[in-house]
Homo-oligomer: A and B are copies of this chain.
Amino acid sequence: MVGVVQSVDRALSILELISNYNEGLGITDISESLGLHKSTVHRLLGTLIYKGYVVQDQVSLKYKLTTKLFELGNKIIEGKDILEASKAHTEALMRRLNEVVHLVIRDGTDIVYIDKVEASDSFSMMRMASNIGRRSPLYSTSVGKAMLAFMDEEEVAEIWNASKIVKLTEKTITDFDEFMKELEKIRQLGYAEDDEENELGVRCIGAPIFNRWGEVEGAISISGPTIRITKEKIDEIAEEVKKCAYSISKELGYRG
């Protein structure tokens, strides 16, 4: 590998190897696993200890990681907001499915659109300012339901009670018990569907985004006309949406 600094490459390999062993690893183990000389491993470990990434257990003499890597890693996550973290992932999702992707967060009983990615005619991607900032109720959208499904039951009830439940189409769910059953189904599947509940002829598939505390932070959705987003395609599309939402969650520090 030309251009790659050997000792750095090796040192990082050692870190990666040790990270798999909570009990720690001995020099010989490491040396054999990585095909490095014992003294080389010893020297590199010395450097990692000097930098505070590794400690040697004084009883077993095994080398184990400290929490320094964890702390460093956290700093990256802390400063990230959902929009920034989503960017690359929503764009990729749009390109894959060639349908509009929305990113939303919650504000009270509503969802607020904070990003929208759609295909332009020329097959290049574009990010539309239109609709950003628009609000919709939680209870009648795929993104909203995806979020509610992973929130506390009490909070869901509060939001339901505070919402003005309106039958936007004949498919809108307006009964609380029925709605709770719907949420249970969403929990099972891991995604939510808006099957013309908000607007006739439009179908959406949404999945929740979790933050580093395991709390729902937002959601993404794919939406399009029922002619393109057919019942048959839903499973396939939902998988992509879920995968994308999970990737974003991971960027935010979710450990699921």
CA distance A19 to B65 in the complex (A): 19
* Chain B contacts for A129, CB-based, 8 A: none
A225 on interface, CB distance cutoff 8 Å: no
A71 on interface, CB distance cutoff 8 Å: yes
* Chain B contacts for A66, CB-based, 8 A: 76
Q: Give 1 or 0 for each of A66-78: 1 = CB within 8 Å of chain B CB.
A: 1101111111111
* Chain B contacts for A165, CB-based, 8 A: none
Q: Is the CB of A50 within 8 A of B4?
A: yes
* Chain B contacts for A193, CB-based, 8 A: none
Q: Could you list some 28 contacts between A and B, CB below 8 A?
A: A3-B43, A3-B46, A3-B47, A4-B46, A5-B7, A5-B44, A5-B47, A8-B44, A8-B47, A8-B51, A9-B50, A12-B53, A15-B72, A16-B72, A19-B72, A19-B76, A22-B79, A22-B80, A67-B76, A67-B250, A69-B72, A69-B76, A70-B70, A70-B253, A71-B73, A72-B73, A78-B255, A213-B214
Q: Give 1 or 0 for each of A7-21: 1 = CB within 8 Å of chain B CB.
A: 111011001100110
This protein's copies in its complex: 2
CA distance A75 to B203 in the complex (A): 39
Chain B residue, CB-CB nearest to A81: B22
CA distance A66 to B50 in the complex (A): 24
A89 on interface, CB distance cutoff 8 Å: no
CA distance A4 to B71 in the complex (A): 23
Indicate the size class of the contact surface on chain A: 35 or more
Q: Is the CB of A73 within 8 A of B70?
A: yes
Min CB distance A22 to B, Å, is 4
Q: Give 1 or 0 for each of A203-220: 1 = CB within 8 Å of chain B CB.
A: 000000000111000000
CA distance A255 to B212 in the complex (A): 9
Q: Is the CB of B79 within 8 A of A73?
A: no
Chain B residue, CB-CB nearest to A12: B51
* Chain B contacts for A27, CB-based, 8 A: none
* Chain B contacts for A20, CB-based, 8 A: 75
Chain B residue, CB-CB nearest to A48: B8
Query: When A and B form their complex, which 7 residue pairs have the shortest distance between CB atoms, in order from nearest?
Result: A70-B73, A22-B79, A73-B73, A69-B73, A8-B11, A5-B47, A19-B75
Min CB distance A138 to B, Å, is 22
